[in-house]
Chain A
Amino acid sequence: MSDFLVFENVTKRFGPLTAVNNVSLGIKKGEFFSLLGPSGCGKTTLLRMLGGFEMPDSGRIFLDGKDITDLSPNQRRVHTVFQNYALFPTMTIWDNIAFSLKLSKLPKREIEEKVDAILGMIQMREHAWKYPNQLSGGQKQRVAIARALVDRPQVLLLDEPLAALDLKLRQHMLMELDLIHDQVGITFIYVTHDQGEAMSLSDRIAVMNRGKVEQLDQPAKIYEAPVSSFVAAFIGDTNFFAGEIVAASGDYCTIRCEGLGDIQAFNDRKLLVGQNVHLSVRPEKIHITLNAPQPENGVGVNVFQSTVTDVIYQGVYTKYWIMCGDRSVSALKPHSRFLLDQAPITWNDKVYMWWHPDDGYMIENFSESDAGLVQTPPDAPKEFPGK
């Protein structure tokens, strides 16, 4: 199936800054697609070019086989849900939603039916004659989505739509968005800097950094098999171990990591001896135990003695900062059993940290600046002022 929406070598500059740098990507019909990246990575610019608010300096955009690059916003059947909702304050909710339908000169009867149907879908019928400033954040959000969906656009763009909501409401709206997407079957393009939102909703995610798409894949693939240190560090949290491959045989290789020792890793790309790589190991993949683990099924390698330096209890899990040689490593210990009955691991305990060789992922494309995105242990408190 050819792609429904295609960006072809799209570049956009603002003065000396290249916001979007030669981006090409294809999005399928009906897909829930996310653009994920830190602020300033060009994701919003990409979205605005799709909406028609910015013109690319070079490259083309195709929608359903037609070149829409030079069309103005009102000529494309692409609607946006804005971050601040942008509801029209002088119109009632009903009029806000009916705005696009009135423009398309539909018969009055049909407009009424469509608005009523979508008001029912977002469960806002009794608020139809209120004004936007009489609604709560979540309600405004729902109206903004309804207004953009009511005339069934080809693509719905969502520009950080949940950024202004509190946590509980955000989680609720996430589920609702998913439901709405299932109901209407329209292509959704979702821009966010929140990896949690992107992961839980998307069919595919494009991770963007400095105007370029670093990786485009399904959420799980992006999380488990990041192509670069940026993706590894930006999506979730990780530990990087730098080293040189000293032995490679079959599916596995040995990485000599300075200050730590030899690490076994799954060698899916058949890297050769002598190559420098970085191994990314997610904190939840690292186990910590008071006793040495029993060697079985590959466990028994990648075991390192270390000392607990910090314990952050989170309910679902506990986050440990442990010192292994002279490096700090973060590890998550999930609590699937009743915690109070267990002997807890606590500050200054001598522990074994270990992970399965299959659970590390080797990254060749490493940049030192991305290492800064990884969480670091909290500093020892400086002297308390005024004490």
Chain B
Amino acid sequence: MKNRKGFFSEGLLTAPSFLWLALFFAIPTLIVVSFTFHGHTPNGGVAEPYSLETWRALADPDYPSIIWRTLRISVKVTLWCILLSLPCAYAIARMDKRLRAIVAGAIMLPFWTSFVVRVFAWRTMLHPDGWLQACYLSYLRFNEWLFQCMPAFVQHTLTGLGLATPGPLDPAMATMLDSEVAVVLVSVYSFLPFSIMPIYSAAEKFDFSLMEAALDLGANSFYAFRKIFIPCIRQGIISAVLMVFIPAIGSYVIPQMLGGTNCVLIGNKIFMRAIQNRNIPHASALATLMAVSVLVPMAMTVWWRARQKARDLKKADNVVAAHIPGAKA
């Protein structure tokens, strides 16, 4: 905004998108937030007088556990997606150009089928008599055996940390379908393309001669991958995290179809309050809570990055000051 002309042309050019964001994002969000300060009418409307009735209703002890479950599952899904995407994106970026296009196309291919249909297909695949369930059971049995082999104090520690449950395995209770396992598995399946793509596009720009340089200087491949490749594609990883974490938090279809009653997430609760209970203010309050739980990690990331940058600059200044007398004016 150095001169008026620049300001005007810039202002004019950005006005449509500003208007769009204001009309369809900012104002609706504010309306949603304002609903939370009203009660609801029996016929599904928003009551006229201001009240904190809705916020008091949020004190229901179910909600913290639902929010905690939602966050936990979203983090799990994000971690799995990133973990799977990194080697995948690395491999695609190292392929020759023609093969790269084919594989990138193959990753996008599932989008040609309806999301709901794909999620529904998982119901069949995860059927208690299916082979995936059989695999899962043997995995649990192996875990149980491993747990039995451990010394008592390790068993107690694991149980204490909530990482293991003692006692014999009940196959009837250990079904994948209608459980958190199914929700995480199918969420990872659904969101994986969204995390591969940003990481891949960052990896594609990565200069692989840096890996050679690292090997040349004595690093092994894994060290080079960790210390050179991952920091260089950091931007891609950050956008992949956001691309997976945000939809995972708002996830609604997958827990609805595969989570049963054991894995109700905040998205399902919002649906329940808005459509089944016809309590719009209550749904709005839950949505506000959800938005906050998304914005907080984002704000933290931004703050952390800004601090990192400031710290680097300060470090550089100090060194310059140490070596060039009189530079610190």
Contact = CB atoms under 8 A, between A and B. Distances in A.
Interface stretch (B24-32, B155-163, B214-222): B214-222
A89 B323 contact: no
Contacts of B207: 84, 86
A72 B215 contact: yes
Chain A residues touching B, range: 20 to 34
Contacts of A125: 323
Given A86-B207, A126-B319, A129-B319, A103 B219 contact: yes
A78 B324 CA distance: 35
A129 B316 contact: yes
Contacts of B289: none
Interface in B187-232: 207, 209-210, 212-220, 223, 228, 231-232
A147 B210 CA distance: 13
Given A90-B232, A126-B319, A126-B324, A74 B218 contact: yes
Contacts of B215: 52-53, 72-74
B209 to A, nearest CB: 5
Contact of B220 (A74, A89, A92): A74
B217 A100 contact: yes
B218 A104 contact: yes
A128 interface: yes
Nearest to A90: B231
Interface string B105-140: 000000000000000000000000000000000000
- Per DSSP, are chain A's interface residues mostly helix, strand or loop, or mixed? loop
B209 A84 contact: yes
B209 A86 contact: yes
Interface string A77-99: 01110101011111110000001
Nearest to A89: B232
A125 B323 CA distance: 7
A51 interface: yes
Given A74-B220, A100-B218, A104-B218, A126 B320 contact: yes
Interface centre among B207, B215, B323 (most CB of A within 10 A): B215
Nearest to B217: A100
Contacts of B213: 80, 82, 86-88
Interface of B: 207, 209-210, 212-220, 223, 228, 231-232, 234, 312, 315-316, 319-320, 323-324
13 contacts: A52-B216, A80-B213, A88-B213, A89-B210, A89-B232, A104-B218, A126-B319, A126-B323, A126-B324, A128-B319, A129-B316, A129-B320, A151-B217
